[in-house]
Every structure is written in structure tokens, then in C-alpha cells.
């Protein structure tokens, strides 16, 4: 390595490790690194997704420190959805700043054209995951770090509540580690508040981009965020909210127990034939048990990546319950056929 490059590398290393000596930053790093220890990432590669917000840049700073101390190969990417004017210019500006000021090389991920009209934020998230997992497979990387925090957990709960999500949907939002298309999605900042991350950003990079969509009331998340500010004045805080999630989680475990029992006793699987038969007793359970049992067998047999929407499952179950004759339906890559008191399900591609 040339002497100039060695000098730059040494300055970069010193910048991060000097920052780590400050008590607030040191404590944040210790909490962050504990979340990654169980992943055994030493001598491995990770991708960090950076949006330019204070939370994602705080994630990048902590990840960079971790890569230097633990010798982890860090790949930084910026996702440009191209869904609003100026996003590409912002991505390029962020890329140049991180390279020139903090010696972090970034790659911008995007598609040439995106025509998203409805459910913009939801579809943008799907696009983001698609681009990130594609890059992971290209680089043979198995872990993605995302900057979701405490505030996101509370917001997601109320968004799902307003959309009528069931018990499992409501409590699945605070998982630190999840799987997406064979890639591990890691959220090591879930126990950091937005306020903490703003403070961390101020003490480290001291730069972030404010996404204008955060203040646009046409998005449900922005409206929920305003409601939560009022609820904070009534005493809502993360610790109380976490207790509620824990109580709901206990109830979900009970439901899961009976779902497994229902599937074990009342579902017949035909190996190699891509076919399942649900007997009459399958449906002689509480609605919540039938709903989750049916959702699981449909997902098992179908070829869709995502679970079928709850509303579609509920409507289909109502139709099956009201029919006394043989009839067929399709859902999530499956054909569902009522035969007398039983239901036969098979894959459309069989």
C-alpha cells in the first residue's frame, strides 16, 4: 500500500476509535456490539443499508467501528428508489460525502424505472429488500444491517393495528433478526430511540438528510407519527409499550400451540403429490386457530414468498363455511376445493 493510502487509513482508524472513547458513544457501541456477538460475524462480510437519515448514519458509524475492531468486511450501499424528484442527486451527494470526508466507499443500488402509484411506502420497502438481497447474493454476503429503532417499532404496531393485523402481525415487529429470501436481516438498533440516534449522529458524522416524506400527511406513517406525539403526553413510552408486546407474545404462544395441534391432528399431507386434505375437525376450532392453521398450510403448499393477506384468508374461510356443494377457489398459488365436509388444497403448478 502507498504511503499516502496508509496515512489516510491510519487517520480513518483514529477518527473512529477516538470517537469511541467518549462515554455516550462508547455505551452505544457496547450495546450495539452485543447484538452482533451472537451472529459470529468475525472474518465475515456484512452489508449496511444507508438512507442518509440520522438513524442509518448512526448505524453506519457503529458498523464501521465494529468492522475495524472485529475485522469484519463492511459493504455500504445506498438504495435509490427513484420515486421522488431529487433522490438520485441526494444519493450521489451522500456517496461523495461519505467517501471524501469519512473514507467509506458506497455503492448505489437502483432500478432504471419504477412506476409505483399505490401503497408507495410498502412497495418501496419491497423494492429495497429486493435490491439488497440481490446484492448480497452477488457478493456472497448473508447478513444485512438495517437502522430500525424503538420509534419504528411503536409506529409499525399502530400502523398494523389500523390495518386490522392479527395477533402474530402485531407482535412480529420487534424481532432483531429475521429472514428474507435466504438472507438474514439484522436490526441492532431496536433498543435505541430516535432521540438517542440523533444525539449519536451529532457526536459522530454530524450530518444527515431529512426525508420530506416524513412530514407528508398522505402517508399513513406520517399521520401515525403525529398521533404518537399526542400519546406521549398521555404517558406512552417504550417500556410500557414493550410490556404490552410481551403480554401479547404470551397469548400468541398459546395460539401457536393449538395451531400446531390442529395441523398435526386434522391435516393429511400427500408427499410428492403436492396435495393436502383438511378434515371436518380442522374447522371445529376457535376462529383464530382456524385462521392461522389455514394460513400456514396455504403458505406451505403455495409458491408465493409472502403469506396471503389476512382479509383474503378470512373471506375464503367464510365462503368455504357457507358452501354445501363442491366448489373451487384460488389463493396464493393454490387451488382450494371443498368436497363434502373436507377441503382439498393443491398447488396450481402440480
Domain ranges of the chain: 3-236, 265-347
Q: Is 3.30.465 the CATH classification of the domain at 265-347?
A: yes
**What pLDDT is attached to residue 350?**
63
> What's the mean per-residue pLDDT of the chain?
84
**Lowest-confidence region among 65-69, 261-265, 298-302:** 298-302
- Report, as an integer, the average pLDDT of 79-87: 78
**Each residue's pLDDT tens digit, 209-252:** 876 666 667 777 788 888 887 787 777 777 778 788 888 888 88
Q: What percent of the chain has pLDDT over 90?
A: 34
**What pLDDT is attached to residue 332?**
86
- pLDDT score of 325 more than 70: no
- pLDDT score of 1 more than 60: no
- pLDDT score of 256 more than 60: yes
- pLDDT score of 310 more than 70: yes
- Report, as an integer, the average pLDDT of 38-44: 69
The architecture CATH gives domain 3-236: 3-Layer(aba) Sandwich (3.40)
**What pLDDT is attached to residue 347?**
84
Task: Give the 3-state DSSP-derived string for the chain, with helices as H, strands as E and coil as C.
Answer: CCHHHHHHHHHHHHHHHHHCCCHHHHHHHHHHHHHHHCCCCCCCEEEEEECCCHHHHHHHHHHHHHHHHHCCEEEEEEECCCCCCCHHHHHHHHHHHHHHHHCCCEEEECCCCCCCCCCHHHHHHHHHHHHHHHHHHHHCCCEEECCCCHHHHHHHHHHHHHCCCCHHHHHHHHCCEEEECCEEEECCCCCCCHHHHHHHHHHCCCCCCCCHHHHCCCCHHHHHHHHHHHHHHCCCCHHHHHHHHHHHHHHHHHHHHHHHHHHHHHEEEECCCCEEEECHHHHCCCHHHHHHHHHHHHHHHCCCCCCCCHHHHHHHHHHHHHCCCCEEEEECCEEEEEECCEEEEEECCC
| pLDDT confidence tier of residue 118, bands split at 50, 70 and 90 | low
Higher pLDDT, 52 or 162: 52
- pLDDT score of 165 more than 90: no
- pLDDT score of 279 more than 90: yes
Amino acid at each position: 500500500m502507498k504511503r499516502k493510502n496508509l496515512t489516510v487509513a491510519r487517520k480513518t482508524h483514529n477518527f473512529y476509535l477516538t470517537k469511541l472513547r467518549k462515554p455516550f458513544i462508547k455505551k452505544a457501541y457496547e450495546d450495539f456490539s452485543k447484538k452482533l456477538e451472537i451472529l459470529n460475524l468475525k472474518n465475515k462480510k456484512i452489508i449496511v443499508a444507508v438512507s442518509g437519515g440520522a438513524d442509518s448514519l448512526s448505524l453506519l458509524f457503529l458498523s464501521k467501528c465494529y468492522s475495524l475492531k472485529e475485522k469484519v468486511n463492511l459493504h455500504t450501499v445506498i438504495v435509490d428508489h427513484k420515486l421522488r424528484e431529487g433522490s438520485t442527486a441526494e444519493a450521489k451527494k451522500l456517496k461523495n460525502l461519505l467517501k471524501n470526508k469519512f473514507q467509506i466507499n458506497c455503492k448505489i443500488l437502483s432500478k432504471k424505472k419504477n412506476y409505483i402509484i399505490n401503497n408507495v411506502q410498502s412497495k418501496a420497502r419491497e423494492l429495497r429488500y429486493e435490491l439488497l438481497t440481490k446484492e448480497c447474493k452477488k457478493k456472497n454476503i448473508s447478513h444485512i444491517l438495517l437502522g430500525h429503532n424503538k420509534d419504528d417499532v411503536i409506529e409499525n404496531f399502530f400502523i398494523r393495528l389500523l390495518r386490522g393485523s392479527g395477533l402474530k402481525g402485531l407482535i412480529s415487529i420487534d424481532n432483531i433478526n429475521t429472514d428474507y429470501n435466504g438472507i438474514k436481516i439484522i436490526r441492532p438498533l431496536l433498543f435505541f430511540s430516535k432521540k438517542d440516534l440523533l444525539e449519536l449522529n451529532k457526536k459522530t458524522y454530524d450530518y444527515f438528510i431529512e426525508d420530506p416524506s416524513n412530514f407528508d400527511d398522505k402517508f399513513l406513517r406520517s399521520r401515525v407519527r403525529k398521533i404518537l406525539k399526542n400519546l406521549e403526553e398521555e404517558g406512552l413510552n417504550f417500556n410500557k409499550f414493550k410490556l404490552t408486546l410481551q403480554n401479547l407474545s404470551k397469548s400468541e404462544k398459546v395460539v401457536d400451540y393449538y395451531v400446531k395441534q390442529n395441523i398435526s391432528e386434522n391435516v393429511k399431507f400427500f408427499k410428492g403429490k403436492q396435495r393436502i386434505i383438511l378434515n371436518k375437525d380442522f374447522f371445529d376450532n376457535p376462529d383464530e386457530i382456524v385462521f392461522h392453521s389455514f394460513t400456514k398450510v396455504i403458505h406451505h403448499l403455495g409458491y408465493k414468498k409472502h403469506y396471503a393477506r389476512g382479509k383474503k384468508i378470512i373471506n375464503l374461510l367464510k365462503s368455504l363455511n357457507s358452501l354445501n356443494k363442491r366448489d373451487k377457489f384460488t389463493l396464493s398459488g393454490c387451488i382450494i376445493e371443498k368436497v363434502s365436509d373436507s377441503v382439498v388444497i393443491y398447488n396450481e403448478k402440480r
